[in-house]
A and B are shown apart, each in its own frame.
Chain A
Amino acid sequence: MTTEEQLAVPLLEAQDLAVKYPNGELALHDMTFSIDAPSFTAIIGPNGSGKSTLIKTILGLMKPVHGFVRVLGHDSVKDSKTIQRLIRYVPQRDHIELTVPMRVKDIVLMGRLMKKPPPRFVSGKDREVGKSALKRVDMIDLWDRPFPELSGGQRQRVLVARALAGEGQILVLDEPLAGTDAESQKMIVEALGEYQRDFDVSIIMVTHDLNPIHVFVKHVLLLRNTLVGIGTPCDVMDPELIKRVYGPAAEVVEYAGHRYCITPDSGVDRHD
């Protein structure tokens, strides 16, 4: 594939996509959309709106019951192996098991070693890239520290560094800002924004709260079990649309030329 052809292939392309939860309930239905690459895409919506399901479908962890989704032209079911080579994934923080005595360096190196064939030995380059990724989120001093002993925000920064240390054109992050302190949030958002600019990768991020990443985001998918809105952050911040998704308590405010959304949901999210 030449570079020009690659540019023409959308980052994500879904047609009539429907996905069920393992319990048989419909999580997503009638999703049809297309997003150009490269992009910083945010997937937003209230709890239980199918945000994580969409990501898991893209990664090939869940299968559509109807329709399809393609990632850079590769079908999520048929070409899942190809997609897995392109992807670097950060799951929700509480999906990381803390019973294993991992150090910060072990977690970051995991980002590189998971994609290596066995026996997955650590090379000098792996270490170097891992260290520079930790520098981007200001965690390099904790290189040797036990991962389970870090605070929630610090753990999340290390997980983001794991993705930054890896290889692959697409970074997928599930709720990397949920339940983190303001400092960590700022650090993560800026590290991702800068990384995307420097390395020309695409980022797909599930989030409760669009506001912290507003200025970096190019495309927004607003979900409520189906696609409710798509566009730039300010397009999606339409008072009508937001109230329809988040309920009447949601407000849209304008600040410094950007539209921000205030919901009881995001409010809780940002202050814990």
Chain B
Amino acid sequence: MIDLLQLIFGTPFIVRALIAAILIAMIASTSGTFLVFRGLSFMASGVAHAALGGAALGFFLQETGFFPWFDPVLGAVLFAVLVAVMTGYAGESGIAQKMEVAVGVSFALSMSLAVFLMYYIPSDKVLVLWGYLVGDILLLTNQDVVLLVITTTLVVAVILMLNKEFVYVSVDYEGAIAHGMNARAYHYVMLVVSAIAIALATKAVGAILVYAILVAPAAASNELVKSVTGVMVAVFSIALFAQVIGIMISFAIAVSPSAIAGLIAAFSYVVALQVRRIRERARDQKLFEADKEETIPATFEGVVVPDDHSGHNH
């Protein structure tokens, strides 16, 4: 056992992967949770793909020598923020459906741009670009981990500080404004901070893992857990569990840890739906029995029980 632990913590790439797993779980429990509350889970995938488009633009501008200083990571963050702002603008009326459309359009736009620019980027850079899509948590560099630590700290700090504001804006946008809250500002802050975190997480572990981990655990927890804090804790646990199991299985068999983590995360939602259904059935059963118990003593106390003709006395 001790040997195994020594092996794990003595291997830098495993340590980096585990740290990244914890950080991504923290992003999921903050950003992911609030995006699901806002009815915007789709934005996680939109932003992750926008990051891909932005990175493609970055590689293109660097390679062609137009703007050698334009780092692909900068492109990824810029595009992600752009999607967040477009989504935010569409959602200023407080209607979630409009935001979904904005996400969809910017998703299409940035993916098309990425595919378009790929032809003009040297093939070794195209491989790096693909990393934004399918990335590998086991191939992280120290720089990736540092970027991820910074962005996680930012998003966790902002969401812990403003969680009541974000909740109120999500629950009752109109009411929040009418009571003097700057709902618009909170609305944008939430979307932009989430977008930055998603973009940098995408750079580190790839779009597919990011949105599997950001959306599914939050959706699953929201089906079962009845408080905001509870949902956040549950999301963190599911997300971390899925990723750690993914990393462990990838040592046993030749498989991408992202794929396993994504599958576990998605499966958690299916399980949550089943558990919810069973719970509801049990509750209905209990209510039915309670009804029966209430009616019987009532007759003993001489209360008139409605007969078959009640409700027909027109």
Residues in B with CB closer than 8 Å to A87 are: 178-179
Please report which residues of chain B, range 174-206, place their CB below 8 angstroms from some CB of chain A when the two chains form the complex: 174-181
Residues in A with CB closer than 8 Å to B171 are: 96-97, 100, 102, 107, 110
Q: Which of B42-50, B68-76, B118-126, B157-165 forms contacts with chain A?
A: B157-165
Residues in B with CB closer than 8 Å to A107 are: 171
Residues in B with CB closer than 8 Å to A89 are: 174-175, 178-179
Besides A61-B174, A95-B175, 16 more A-B contacts (Cβ < 8 Å) are A59-B177, A61-B178, A84-B180, A96-B171, A97-B37, A99-B37, A99-B38, A101-B222, A101-B231, A106-B228, A107-B171, A113-B168, A114-B168, A115-B180, A146-B226, A172-B178
**Out of A81, A84, A100, which one reaches B170, CB within 8 Å?**
A100
CB <8 Å contact, B175 and A101: no
Give the CA-CA distance A106 to B167 in the complex, in Å: 10
**Nearest chain A CB to B165's CB is how many angstroms away?**
7
**Out of B161, B174, B231, which one reaches A95, CB within 8 Å?**
B174
**Nearest chain B CB to A247's CB is how many angstroms away?**
26
Give the CA-CA distance A213 to B174 in the complex, in Å: 25
Q: Determine if A118 is an interface residue (Cβ-Cβ < 8 Å).
A: yes
CB <8 Å contact, A119 and B178: no
Q: Determine if A193 is an interface residue (Cβ-Cβ < 8 Å).
A: no
Q: Determine if A257 is an interface residue (Cβ-Cβ < 8 Å).
A: no
Residues in B with CB closer than 8 Å to A101 are: 222, 225-228, 230-231
B280, closest chain A residue (CB): A149
Question: Secondary structure at chain B's binding surface: helix, strand, loop or mixed?
Answer: helix
Q: Determine if A91 is an interface residue (Cβ-Cβ < 8 Å).
A: yes
Residues in B with CB closer than 8 Å to A106 are: 167, 228
Total interface residues on B, CB under 8 Å, equals 32
Q: Determine if A103 is an interface residue (Cβ-Cβ < 8 Å).
A: yes
Q: Determine if B39 is an interface residue (Cβ-Cβ < 8 Å).
A: yes
CB <8 Å contact, B167 and A100: yes
Give the CA-CA distance A60 to B39 in the complex, in Å: 26
**Nearest chain A CB to B193's CB is how many angstroms away?**
16
Q: Determine if A244 is an interface residue (Cβ-Cβ < 8 Å).
A: no
Residues in A with CB closer than 8 Å to B173 are: 95
Q: Determine if B274 is an interface residue (Cβ-Cβ < 8 Å).
A: no
Residues in A with CB closer than 8 Å to B231 are: 101
Contact with B along A118-137 (1 / 0, CB 8 A): 11100000000000000000
Given known pairs A95-B174, A118-B162, the reply for A100 and B179 (CB within 8 Å) is: no
CB <8 Å contact, B165 and A118: yes
Q: Determine if A88 is an interface residue (Cβ-Cβ < 8 Å).
A: yes
Give the CA-CA distance A60 to B176 in the complex, in Å: 12
Q: Determine if A24 is an interface residue (Cβ-Cβ < 8 Å).
A: no
CB <8 Å contact, B172 and A96: yes
Residues in A with CB closer than 8 Å to B170 are: 97, 99-100
Residues in A with CB closer than 8 Å to B226 are: 101, 103, 146
Residues in B with CB closer than 8 Å to A61 are: 174, 177-178
Residues in A with CB closer than 8 Å to B161 are: 118-119
CB <8 Å contact, A91 and B175: yes
**Nearest chain B CB to A182's CB is how many angstroms away?**
14
Residues in A with CB closer than 8 Å to B165 are: 118, 120
Residues in B with CB closer than 8 Å to A120 are: 164-165
Give the CA-CA distance A226 to B39 in the complex, in Å: 36
Q: Determine if B285 is an interface residue (Cβ-Cβ < 8 Å).
A: no
8 A–B pairs (Cβ distance < 8 Å), ordered by A: A84-B177, A91-B174, A95-B174, A96-B172, A101-B230, A102-B167, A114-B181, A118-B165
Instruction: Kindly list the 7 A-B residue pairs having the minimum CB-CB distance in the complex, ordered from nearest.
Output: A84-B180, A89-B178, A114-B179, A59-B178, A100-B37, A146-B226, A91-B174
B181, closest chain A residue (CB): A114
Q: Determine if B93 is an interface residue (Cβ-Cβ < 8 Å).
A: yes
Q: Determine if B155 is an interface residue (Cβ-Cβ < 8 Å).
A: no
CB <8 Å contact, B180 and A97: no
CB <8 Å contact, A119 and B172: no
A56, closest chain B residue (CB): B174
Please report which residues of chain B, range 196-249, place their CB below 8 angstroms from some CB of chain A when the two chains form the complex: 222, 225-228, 230-231
Given known pairs A22-B93, A120-B164, the reply for A100 and B228 (CB within 8 Å) is: yes
Give the CA-CA distance A85 to B179 in the complex, in Å: 7
Give the CA-CA distance A60 to B178 in the complex, in Å: 7
Q: Determine if B20 is an interface residue (Cβ-Cβ < 8 Å).
A: no
CB <8 Å contact, A91 and B162: no
- Select the residue from A97, A115, A146 with max chain B CB neighbours within 10 A: A97
Residues in B with CB closer than 8 Å to A85 are: 180
A98, closest chain B residue (CB): B171
Residues in B with CB closer than 8 Å to A102 are: 167, 171, 228
Please report which residues of chain A, range 77-93, place their CB below 8 angstroms from some CB of chain B when the two chains form the complex: 81, 84-85, 87-91
CB <8 Å contact, B225 and A97: no
A80, closest chain B residue (CB): B180
CB <8 Å contact, A95 and B178: no
Give the CA-CA distance A209 to B230 in the complex, in Å: 41
